[in-house]
Amino acid sequence: MGYRELEQGEPVDTFARSTFDDTRRKAAKFGAMGSTIRATKPQR
Amino acid sequence: MTIGAETPVDVEILRQEIAKTYTEVSTEPDTNFSFPTGHKWAQELGYPEPELTWVPEDTVASFAGVANHWQHGPVMPGETVLDLGCGAGTDLLIAAQMTGQAGRAIGIDMTASMLERARSSAQAMGLTNVELHDSLIESLPLEDESVDIVISNGVIDLVPDKEAVFAEIDRVLRPGGRLQLADVFIRHEVSEDARKRIDLWTG
């Protein structure tokens, strides 16, 4: 798509806050994290 | 988030399970979910103030975002903002405050109880610049190039056909517009067996 001005936020260990051991374990196994991105669609 | 991979699950069953999970988030927000929720979590992520404070607790209690895309900047006054998978409306109603009466805040969600909560909170806040649509985000009920900014938090990872979602974002976003997304990323390849497990998709 050719988007520009890409920014990515720092990873957040979202699932470490889960009250479920199983979720924390699975998130750690797959390296699942929250993060963000910003990008701008090019002008024509 | 993996884009372009084939879907190893029944999409209809997956949608039903996602709707079930997020209906519960909207109707029983005090339940312990496998992911963090609520006002305290939004504050911990650094959600913008004072806008967060003005969103009714009925909505913020169901907040289930995964990170804070607002760190990349606010919605500017007069902009048209689209929230993909707006849920009970925390991000949508923050965006509606930022864009003001000259702008529009459009929320898309497939969970009726979430949309009802967002609608009720918008009315309680006296916001008249909020539109809500019951729709899949893979097929948006919007005109081409009609949106200035697309936001979303913790939703695209739940959709098997991510290529369709990004094609729709590109279609509705005007040239020079921007996307500002928060979502789940994985660092290690997920096995084929794991990708077939609905419980891993729904959190």
Whether residue A4 lies within 8 A of chain B, CB to CB, comes out as no
H runs (alpha helix) in chain B? 11-27, 39-45, 51-54, 57-60, 90-99, 112-124, 162-172, 192-195, 198-201
Cβ proximity of B94 and B52 under 8 Å? yes
Q: Please give the Cα distance from B87 to B59 (Å, whole number).
A: 9
The arrangement of strands across the sheet holding B80-84 comes to A4-8, A33-40, B173-185, B147-153, B80-84, B104-109, B130-134
Cβ proximity of B55 and B29 under 8 Å? no
User: Considering only CA atoms, which of B1, B6, B8 is closest in space to residue B187?
Assistant: B1
Q: Considering only CB atoms, which chain B residues are within 8 Å of A15?
A: 34-35
CA dihedral B199, B188, A4, A36 (to 10 degrees): 50
Whether residue B42 lies within 8 A of chain A, CB to CB, comes out as no
Q: Give pLDDT tens digits along chain B (203 positions).
A: 555 456 677 888 878 887 777 777 777 777 777 778 899 999 999 999 999 999 999 999 999 999 999 999 999 999 999 999 999 999 999 999 999 999 999 999 999 999 999 999 999 999 999 999 999 999 999 999 999 999 999 999 889 899 999 999 999 999 999 999 999 998 888 777 777 776 766 65
Q: Please give the Cα distance from B67 to B12 (Å, whole number).
A: 27
With H, G, I as helix, E, B as strand and everything else as coil, classify residue A30: helix
With H, G, I as helix, E, B as strand and everything else as coil, classify residue B183: strand
Q: Is B189 exposed, middle or buried (0-12, 13-18, 19+ CB in 10 A)?
A: exposed
User: Considering only CA atoms, which of B74, B76, B129 is closest in space to residue B107?
Assistant: B129
* Cβ-nearest to A31 among B34, B68, B186: B186
Residue A38 has what pLDDT?
98
* Cβ-nearest to A34 among B66, B72, B176: B66
To test the contact with chain A by mutation, choose from B30, B34, B144, B201 the residue with the greatest count of A C-beta atoms within 10 A, namely B34
Count of C-beta atoms within a 10 Å radius of residue B16: 12
Flag whether the pTM goes above 0.90: no
Residue B202 has what pLDDT?
66
Pairs of residues, one from chain A and one from chain B, whose beta carbons lie less than 8 Å apart: 107
- Token pair in block for residue B192: 């084929």
Q: Give pLDDT tens digits along chain A (44 positions).
A: 699 999 999 999 988 888 888 888 888 888 889 999 999 999 98
